[in-house]
């Protein structure tokens, strides 16, 4: 994401670099750099006080060329149309890199969910879905959880849509509770995908992940699962930080015990199995693999020169700014970009949609095996493109994505 200014312009900067190398047709270039549809809605809600508040909601469908649009819904005070548009574009490229038949979308509501009751959140969710009801559906646009939304919110989305169409439609949304048609393995999918690409990246560089050292920033769902599954490969996770603090142990942290500790304390800070560690210190650790799994814009021009890892796996969305990415590349650090590294989540969301569509559900082992296959293929598609064009993995991922969406756009032709 951008360090300053428009997030969408930052996305276009990454797009343009790849499109030039592809010698993309100018007409296709114009099509792929404009969102297909931007929806702005007003959502009046009666609050618990009896007063009426009107919230602004967005749904951007960037592309539906490869299939139904796919993307989360976030609730946050700082949601903007520019942000939602950029995120919808990134979802388009992420789905294309993962080689799944979805386009890209994103939704958001300007609100502070921490100050709202459960009843108010339900009322807001249902009104928002009612306002965009004509634009979503299993064959149109399939929402999912994002910042400050969860499986309960997705259950309300499914129920609201189902009430409008007159029958239960589980495939309208992913990230649902298992009881409502959710997929086994979905919660761990993003972190599992991160582990898979970390393993493949170390292999490419001639390292053995079972002997690798790893540092992880962020211990939410993605960071915790990434750390846990990477540790299970035999890797030594030496540093972990979260929103409050961190822990370092050169001999390796007991990630399983940390998971239990954070259940009780809600932070890794104070974990007795190591010494205190700050985010700034984590980024300077001499490790084989660094996994930023927290927020965007964590590695910037201010600290990119201090990174000592051989590999950076972008588990979060946009943790490395474009300018910082250039510094890391110049220093020979192998960066696996977010649109590849964290695509495990949307891949298993696709599996959930497939299972809902034909009403038959897979065992978790089958979900994980299918995810392993898709992530392995996606990583090596991008790696081979990187070697063929002699470019970094981020540019290669965009080349793969733009080529796939652009080819289908050309084959489908122009409707007039």
Structure tokens at 13: 């900067």
Structure tokens at 330: 């110049």
CA dihedral 14, 21, 308, 2 (to 10 degrees): -10
Catalytic pick among 70, 106, 176, 374: 106
DSSP string, 212-262: -EEEEE--SHHHHHHHHHHHHTT-EEEEEE-SS-EEE-TT---HHHHHHHH
CA dihedral 11, 340, 74, 283 (to 10 degrees): -90
Q: Is 140 considered catalytic here?
A: no
The beta-carbon contacts of 270-278 under 8 Å, at least 24 apart in sequence, are: 270/245, 271/247, 273/247, 273/249, 274/247, 274/248, 274/249, 275/247, 275/248, 275/249, 276/245, 276/246, 276/247, 276/248, 277/239, 277/240, 277/241, 277/245, 277/246, 277/247, 277/248, 278/241, 278/245, 278/246
Cα separation, 376 vs 392, whole angstroms: 18
Cα separation, 65 vs 385, whole angstroms: 22
Cα separation, 302 vs 385, whole angstroms: 30
Query: Which residues are known to be catalytic?
Result: 106
């Amino acid at each position: 994401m951008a360090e300053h200014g428009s997030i969408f312009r930052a996305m276009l900067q990454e797009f343009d670099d790849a499109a030039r190398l592809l010698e993309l047709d100018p007409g296709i270039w114009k099509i792929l750099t404009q969102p297909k549809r931007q929806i702005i809605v007003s959502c009046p809600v009666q609050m618990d006080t009896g007063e009426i508040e009107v919230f602004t909601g967005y749904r951007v469908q960037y592309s539906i060329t490869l299939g139904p649009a796919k993307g989360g819904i976030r609730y946050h005070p700082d949601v903007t149309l520019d942000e939602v548009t950029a995120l919808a574009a990134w979802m388009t490229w992420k789905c294309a890199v993962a080689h799944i038949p979805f386009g890209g979308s994103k939704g958001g509501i300007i609100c502070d969910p921490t100050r709202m009751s459960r009843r108010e959140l339900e009322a807001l969710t249902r009104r928002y879905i009612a306002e965009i009801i004509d634009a979503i559906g299993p064959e149109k646009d399939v929402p999912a959880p994002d910042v400050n939304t969860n499986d309960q919110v997705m259950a309300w989305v499914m129920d609201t849509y189902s009430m409008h169409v007159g029958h239960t439609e589980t495939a309208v949304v992913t990230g649902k509770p298992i009881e409502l048609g959710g997929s086994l393995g979905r919660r761990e999918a993003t972190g599992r995908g991160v582990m898979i690409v970390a393993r493949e990246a170390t292999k490419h560089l001639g390292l053995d992940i079972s002997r690798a050292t790893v540092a992880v920033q962020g211990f939410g769902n993605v960071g915790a699962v990434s750390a846990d599954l990477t540790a299970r490969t035999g890797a030594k996770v030496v540093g972990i930080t979260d929103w409050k603090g961190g822990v370092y142990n050169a001999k390796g942290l007991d990630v399983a015990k940390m998971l239990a500790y954070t259940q009780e304390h809600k932070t890794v800070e104070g974990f007795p199995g190591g010494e205190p560690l700050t985010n700034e210190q984590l980024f300077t650790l001499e490790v084989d693999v660094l996994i930023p799994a927290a927020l965007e814009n964590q590695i910037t021009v201010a600290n990119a020169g201090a990174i000592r890892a051989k590999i950076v796996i972008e588990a979060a969305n946009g943790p490395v700014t474009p300018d910082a990415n250039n510094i890391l590349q110049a220093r020979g650090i192998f960066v696996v970009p977010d649109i590849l590294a964290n695509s495990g989540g949307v891949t298993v969301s696709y599996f959930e949609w497939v299972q809902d569509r034909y009403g038959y559900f897979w065992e978790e082992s089958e979900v994980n095996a299918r995810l392993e296959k898709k992530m392995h293929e996606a990583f090596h598609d991008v790696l081979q493109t990187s070697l063929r064009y002699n470019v970094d993995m981020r540019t290669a991922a965009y080349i793969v994505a733009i080529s796939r969406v652009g080819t289908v756009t050309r084959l489908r032709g122009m409707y007039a």
